[in-house]
Amino acid sequence: MSKEYRPAEFETRHYARWEQAGYFAPAGRGQPYCIVIPPPNVTGTLHMGHAFGHTIKDALTRYHRMRGFDTLWQPGTDHAGIATQMVVERLLNREGTSRQALGREKFVERVWRWKEQSGNTITAQMRRLGDSVDWSRDCFTMDPRLSGVVIEVFVRLYDDGLIYRGKRLVNWDPVLHTALSDLEVLSSEEKGKLWRLRYPLADGSDALVVATTRPETMLGDTAVAVHPDDPRYRHLIGKSVRLPLAERVIPVIADGEVDPEFGTGCVKITPGHDFNDYDVGLRHALPVLNIFDADAKLNAEVPERYRGLDRFVARERVVEDLRAAGLIAGIDDHVSMIPRGDRSGAILEPLLTDQWYVRMAPLAAEAIAAVEQGRVRFVPENWSKTYFEWMRNIKDWCISRQLWWGHRIPAWYDNHGHVYVGRDEREVRAKHRLGDEHVLHQDEDVLDTWFSSALWPFSTLGWPERTRELDRYYPTNVLVTGFDIIFFWVARMIMMGLKFTGEVPFREVYLHALVLDHEGQKMTKSKGNILDPLDLMDGVDLKTLLAKRTEGMMQPHLTSRVEQATRAEFPDGIRAFGTDALRLTFTSLATTGRDVRFDLGRIDGYHRFCNKIWNASQYVFAQLVEPEHGEDLRYTAADRWIRSRLRRCIEAVHESFKSYRLDLVTQALYEFTWYEFCDWYLELTKPVLGEGPATAAEQRATRATLVEVLGALCKLLHPLAPFVTEELWLELAAKTGAETRTVMLERFPESDDFPADAAAETEIEWLKSFVVGIRQIRSEMNLSPSKPLPVKLAGATAADRARLTSLRMYIEKLARVASIDHVADSRAVRGAASALLGELHVLVPLAGLVDVRAEIERLDKQLTRTRKDLDACRRKLDNADFVDNAPPEIVAKENARAVDLGQRIERLDLQLKRMREIQ
RNA sequence: GGGCGGUUAGCUCAGUGGUAGAGUACCGGCUUUACACGCCGGCUGUCACAGGUUCGAAUCCUGUACCGCCCACCA
């Protein structure tokens, strides 16, 4: 085993061994515990958000597995309809061909091929992260079986009247040529104009002025609306205007939704291209005119001169023509919400098309109730508000997409426009008694990716079959995911789970934060601030990192900016921190917050932590070279102390796991390992195990304690840092001859494994104060750490004397004390630096050691600080309200503190006086 | 317009009624045989602001400011 911590030497090796040995599969006994993975896009790569989530899921999984649960972490990947299709289309474009040129069948084949090649990226990354998923159950949303589940659900929802096909306005992506659901629309404020257009009245008497942000849609206007009570326009209601350019006559109608304050108080109504206007159109039975084709170019419904123009070109021409006709009444700057597709970024167009919808209200009702009743619990609880808010205002879900990659809708049409839904064409024909003379063709559309995602918890476990897995692991225990997909995924899973299994899909939803860069910016390719988890684990040189970040950037000025920022942040690239350091960083950031800024300083700190425990283990191993002779053990105070402290640490670990506070789990283990085990306990074992007065039985007990505590630490830390703990655990076992195959299947420590020992804790606390007192003197007096010091003690109680005897060897070693003498009175020692331990006055005679002035300065500083504390303390106690109202134990504590501080001051004062005398 | 977060040391973050914390950075000292990725000691804060509740507020309440996220059809 290497003397240095080099994670690259063992991380991948252990993972391969675990996987090969089948350790990730459920044990088949114990209480079931199941987590399903949020299936990542099969063609994608894992980003920092994934790595964060996966770390949490794996930690939870490993923790429960070690506690004897029958643990299943269900893996899988998602076909990610639009995203994947776009990737492959881009690829084809680069090859000089296109989806259309290939045709549907060839294209889909091509996507499958691409999936086979690049699908491994994800799984490789998951392995590198240490994810203990049951790979034997790996699946893909478009596997034949899972596709079957999609069909089954679709058909059942249709049969229950919960899926329907309808013609209405949808969010149309003119670039991708598909409908989108409301959730896939990202609206943001953008600068634009507000045009005021003059529409002449049909009778030629006057004109109305309408305000619009989209003048080109005027060619599809079928009315003009005013508020019914608007005195300016009341007299015009029921009259008509002559729509310019189109030269159509349309009515002036009254509608309460019109805001008289906005614009001119006069609205042009375009039911075919505006969601509001569509509703107005329905209310007033207006005709719906569709003036755009799939590219959002003007179609044959408009006058010749506008046909075939892109909507924005048409806008210019319409404005131009209106101006020429003197019909522009004004143009103002205006900021409005522009809807864009979340994938293409294209400005969406409301378009009247036939689409498939899921009727959500009935499904939502159940799902709301489930959360209200606590059958699903959100962690942090607050997210349930977000969930309720959306669910209570839910709208029907448009599930059809005009894509080729995805689950094709199981609906068939005959030549008369009749639609038949069924599991396949044969079933449809049989059910509706359609002979071969009826030509049927299947719907061309595919389903929204999230449709199959919504079924994930039960589809992966074998539904609709009543499989053993479904029976055993469903409902799953916890869903761990980012809050950004509460609507997309979490809510829909709850609805579908309840609908098809009668049960919630999971009992808890743990929503973790989103990972941002160190500036708090979202990590996106376009910003060039992406961090690849692999680069943090394995390291990356600056050149490669720069290439990665600027690859495929469209705008050169952005490229140089990204390059600059990257050089500034990572002047030497990123060094390899290893998986465990990355995981510990993530768990330490798993607080209740909603974003985490990823900072290299943190991962560096956890790399050091791994190094620390590695080296501590090297020390332990070095103590285990001789085979043990003899049986009896005599535990030292230090042994009993560290066990007692470990007990508390284990309690904290369990408690924090229970509340999903992995940051607190990490903190508890970090602090115990570093500050108690390494800083003190290991140092305390040195005088016992080296030359000295310790008996063989004490040495045996100490070695046993080292082994036990280190072993427990390996187990306790294993869920967070699986690799280094495995490496150390196996080495420890080799040294002690213990039988074990892996730490990951060991029993997780319980607090009762280690006895509490208040007496030992008090004793070692006393020792620590003693040692620290002398160290402080040494440091502040500028005394060399290696110089042994004589120490005089005054005011030692019987207990102090007893401890001095029993802890003598520790004091000598840790404080480098040459001699310890008792004196009757501190005044007997002329010129000494001092430390106070309760009653005990520790004196280090300074004669010839140091200058007195420094000690005076030091004492003065202490005195000032202590006086300040006492003042604050007195102020409280002098306050009658405090004494009367505060709980007695708080008052008592404060009283004791005042006494203690008072004594301290007295002694410091005395000591200071004496030093001044010498000077 | 509605909803939800955040504001604590230079930086990244814990702390949710009782003496302000960690990592990192910083200062001083150390080749003390596990570890210089270390050890020892130290420095660092009007806990955003203003009111209020309370004996006592970083912590609870109200309001304000700033930053951020989500939802929503004002053309």
List residues bridging with A165 in a β-sheet.
A356
Q: Which nucleotide is nearest to A610 (CA to C1')?
A: B37
pLDDT in tens, A855-894: 787 788 788 888 888 888 888 888 888 888 888 888 888 8
Distance A365 CA to B33 C1' (A): 70
Q: What is the mean pLDDT of residues A50-78?
A: 96
Closest CA to A215 of A374, A323, A355: A323
φ/ψ of residue A446, rounded to 5: -115, 170
A459 touches strand B (CB under 7 A): no
Q: How far is the CA of A753 from the C1' of B36 (A)?
A: 36
Q: What is the pLDDT of residues A256-290, one digit of tens each?
A: 889 888 888 899 999 999 999 999 999 999 999 99
User: For strand B, which residues in window 417-446 of chain A come within 7 Å by CB?
Assistant: none
At A451, is the secondary structure helix, strand, or coil? helix
* Closest nucleotide to the alpha carbon of A261, via C1': B74
pLDDT for the residue A911: 78
Is the pLDDT at A493 greater than 70? The verdict is: yes
How far is residue A192's CA from residue A204's CA, in Å, rounded to a whole number?
32
Say how far apart CA A524 and CA A48 lie, in whole Å: 11
Mean pLDDT over all residues of chain A?
Answer: 91
**More confident position, A879 or A396:** A396
Separation of CA A779 and C1' B35 in angstroms? 22
Query: From CA A340, how far away is CA A456, in angstroms rounded?
Result: 28
Distance of C1' in B14 from CA in A663, Å: 8
Q: pLDDT digits over A805-846, tens only?
A: 889 889 988 988 888 888 888 777 777 778 878 778 888 887
Contact present, A898 and A877 (Cβ < 8 Å): yes
Q: How far is CA A163 from the centre of its chain?
A: 34
Q: List pLDDT tens digits, range A87-104.
A: 899 999 999 999 999 999
Q: Give yes or no for residue A394 having a pLDDT over 70.
A: yes
pLDDT of residue A850: 59
Q: What is the pLDDT of residue A92?
A: 92
The whole-angstrom separation of Cα A479 and Cα A496 is 15
- What is the spatial distance, in angstroms and rounded to an integer, between the CA atom of A650 and the C1' atom of B44? 33
Residues 642-671 of A with CB under 7 A from strand B: 663-664, 667, 670
> Rounded to whole angstroms, how far apart are CA atoms A288 and A27?
62
Cα–Cα distance measured from residue A413 to residue A443, given in angstroms and rounded to the nearest whole number: 7
**Please, which pLDDT band fits residue A444 given cuts at 50, 70 and 90?**
very high
Least Cα distance to A264 among A290, A292, A232, A310 occurs for: A232
A780 pLDDT more than 80: no
Distance A744 CA to B38 C1' (A): 30
A624-655 pLDDT per residue, tens? 987 777 789 999 999 999 999 999 999 999 99
In 10 A of CB A900, how many CB atoms?
Answer: 16
User: Can you tell me the mean pLDDT for A542-567?
Assistant: 84
Alpha carbons within 13 A on the beta-carbon side of A182: 11
Which nucleotide is closest to A266, CA to C1'?
B75
Closest of A750, A755, A752 to residue A644, by C-alpha: A755
Identify each DSSP E strand in A567-700 by its residue range.
595-597
| Residue among A316, A314, A287 nearest A299 (CA) | A314
Nearest to A636 by CA among A808, A799, A818: A808
Contact A153, A455 (CB under 8 A): yes
Q: Is the pLDDT of residue A609 over 70?
A: yes
Instruction: Check residue A387 and give its pLDDT.
Output: 93
Residue type, A136: S
The fraction of chain A above a pLDDT of 70, given in percent, is 99
Residue A588, number of CB atoms within 10 A of its CB: 22
Query: How open is the CA angle A702-A705-A708, to the nearest 5 degrees?
Result: 155
A336 pairs with which residues across the strands? A190
Integer Cα distance of A43 and A110 in angstroms: 13
Alpha carbon distance A439, A309 (integer Å): 37
Q: Is the CB of A265 under 7 A from strand B?
A: yes
A487 touches strand B (CB under 7 A): yes
Nucleotide nearest to A339 (CA to C1'): B73
Q: What is the pLDDT of residue A916?
A: 80
Q: What is the pLDDT of residue A158?
A: 97
What would the pLDDT profile of A703-716 be if each residue is shown by its tens digit? 999 999 999 999 99
pLDDT (0 to 100) of residue A45: 86
Longest distance between any two alpha carbons in chain A, whole Å: 120
Confidence (pLDDT) at A629: 75
Task: Tell how many helices (H) and how many strands (E) occur in chain A.
Answer: 31, 27
Strands (E), A683-796: 789-794
A732: how many CB neighbours lie within 10 A of its CB? 22
* A849: confidence class by pLDDT, cuts 50, 70, 90: low
Query: Is A822 near strand B, with its CB below 7 A from some atom of it?
Result: no
- Between CA A698 and CA A721 the distance in angstroms is 32
**Amino acid identity of A131?**
D
Reported ipTM: 0.95
DSSP state for residue A461 in the 8-state scheme? T
| CB proximity A900–strand B (7 Å threshold) | no
* Model confidence pLDDT, tens digit, residues A157-180: 999 999 999 999 999 999 999 999
What torsion, rounded to 10 degrees, do the Cα atoms A223, A227, A231, A234 define?
40
Average pLDDT for residues A545-569, to the nearest whole number? 84
Grade residue A126 by pLDDT with cuts at 50, 70 and 90. very high
Place of tokens 């029958």: A70
The integer distance in angstroms from the CA atom of A569 to the C1' atom of B12 is: 15
Protein-nucleic contacts, chain A 587-606 to strand B, CB < 7 Å: 589, 591-597, 599, 601-602, 604-605
pLDDT, tens digit, 9 for 90 and up, residues A446-475: 999 999 999 999 999 999 999 999 999 999
Instruction: Tell me which residues from 690 to 719 on chain A have a beta carbon below 7 angstroms from nucleic acid strand B.
Output: 690
Q: Confidence band (pLDDT; 50, 70, 90) for A848?
A: low
Residue A886 CA distance to nucleotide B56 C1' (Å): 8
Rounded-to-integer distance, Cα A273 and Cα A295, Å:
14
pLDDT digits (tens, 9 = 90+) for A667-689: 999 999 999 999 999 999 999 99
What's the Å distance between residue A33 CA and nucleotide B14 C1'?
A: 30
Residue A378 in this model has a pLDDT that exceeds 80: yes
3-state secondary structure of A35: strand
